[in-house]
């Protein structure tokens, strides 16, 4: 299962929407980038796309609850 993460950037009209497998590890990496004073944080999504984000421009990080991506009736 994957978790949807939305990252809002200051001065940007759209948010960055990524799917990650391990939301806890994703948030630990984000918190480490903040606490270590990193300028750039590289985010890799489940599709292997890499996004370089300027840490001081991140407005918010929203982690949706995990969900099963099944299609059909239950």
H or E element, residue 42: strand 40-44
Q: Is residue 57 part of a domain?
A: yes
| Bridge partners for 18 per DSSP | 5
φ and ψ at residue 68, rounded to 5 degrees: -85, 130
The pTM for the full model equals 0.78
State which residues form the domain around 38.
Answer: 3-63
| Residue 33 included in any domain | yes
> Which CATH number fits the domain that encloses residue 16?
2.30.30
Residue 3 pLDDT > 60, yes or no? yes
Map residue 70 onto helix, strand or coil. Answer: coil
Check residue 72 and give its pLDDT.
62
pLDDT at 56 over 90: yes
Geometric angle at alpha carbon 27, from 26 and 29, rounded to 5°: 65
pLDDT digits (tens, 9 = 90+) for 9-55: 999 999 998 888 888 999 999 999 999 999 999 998 888 889 899 99
Residue 67 has a pLDDT of 61
Using alpha carbons only, how large is the chain's radius of gyration in Å?
13
């Amino acid at each position: 299962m994957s978790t949807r993460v939305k990252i809002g950037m200051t001065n940007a009209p759209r948010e960055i929407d990524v799917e990650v497998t391990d939301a806890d590890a994703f948030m630990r990496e984000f918190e480490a980038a903040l606490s270590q004073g990193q300028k750039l944080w590289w985010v890799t999504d489940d599709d292997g796309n890499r996004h370089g984000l300027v840490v001081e421009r991140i407005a918010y990080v929203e982690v949706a609850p995990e969900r099963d991506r099944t299609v059909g009736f239950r």
